[in-house]
């Protein structure tokens, strides 16, 4: 019985000490205002200028192809987008165009690799005819390894048959 009484007395003492610590020490410390540290503006300017540069870059241009085909028919909208890329390349000589061909999953990996390279080369020839120098282009072939959509539907497979033109900063 002594153990129970001793345990209860210790528990009551512990409750009083805990309540005192919380109410008199912890709560006032949590209510104190916190000093805010200001960051000098010079440190963020470089990051901001890089973000502005990234935001001003032309968005990637996707050119879609028919099944088992590498023929490309340019249209005025594509010509306008290519002129944006040309302007960017003239303004930033350290940048390059990445022209990457893709295919859907139908066919062997070897065949899809060759077809996607052919698609990239056709678009590269078009870009060259539009005034983009070949030394400013990087041709790549991904085959069916980087799908943009699913392979289950015809619409998804059609979205995967594409060539992607993007800017690369060096």
Task: Quickly state the pLDDT bin for 45 (edges 50, 70, 90).
Answer: low
Question: What 3-state DSSP class applies to 109?
Answer: helix
As a whole number of angstroms, the longest Cα–Cα distance in the chain is: 99
Give 153's DSSP letter.
S
- Phi/psi for 57 (5° steps) reads -65, 140
pLDDT at residue number 164: 92
Question: What 3-state DSSP class applies to 163?
Answer: strand
pLDDT in tens, 69-82: 888 888 888 888 88
Whether the predicted pLDDT of 43 surpasses 70:
no
162 contact partners, CB below 8 Å, separation of at least 6: 62, 63, 64, 65, 101, 102, 119, 148
Asked if 130 and 75 count as a contact pair (C-beta separation under 8 A), the reply is no
pLDDT at residue number 12: 93
| pTM, entire model | 0.67
Whether the predicted pLDDT of 44 surpasses 60:
no
Instruction: Note the CATH architecture for domain 96-170.
Output: 2-Layer Sandwich (3.30)
Helix or strand run (H / E) with residue 45: helix 41-56
pLDDT in tens, 26-37: 888 777 777 777
pLDDT at residue number 47: 62
10-14, 32-36, 160-164, 165-169, range with the lowest pLDDT: 32-36
């Amino acid at each position: 019985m002594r153990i129970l009484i001793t345990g209860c007395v210790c528990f009551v003492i512990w409750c009083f000490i805990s309540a005192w610590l919380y109410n008199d020490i912890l709560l006032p410390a949590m209510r104190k205002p916190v000093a805010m540290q200001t960051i000098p503006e010079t440190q963020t300017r470089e990051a901001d200028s890089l973000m502005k540069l990234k935001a001003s870059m032309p968005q990637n241009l996707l050119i879609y192809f028919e099944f088992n085909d590498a023929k490309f028919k340019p249209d005025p909208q594509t010509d306008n987008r290519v002129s944006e890329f040309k302007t960017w390349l003239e303004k930033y000589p350290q940048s390059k165009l990445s022209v990457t061909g893709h295919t859907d999953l139908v066919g062997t990996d070897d065949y899809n690799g060759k077809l996607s390279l052919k698609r990239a080369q056709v678009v590269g020839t078009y870009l060259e005819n539009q005034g983009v120098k070949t030394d400013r282009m990087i041709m790549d072939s991904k085959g069916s390894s980087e799908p943009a959509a699913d392979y289950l539907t015809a619409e998804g497979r059609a979205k995967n048959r594409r060539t992607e033109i993007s800017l690369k900063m060096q």
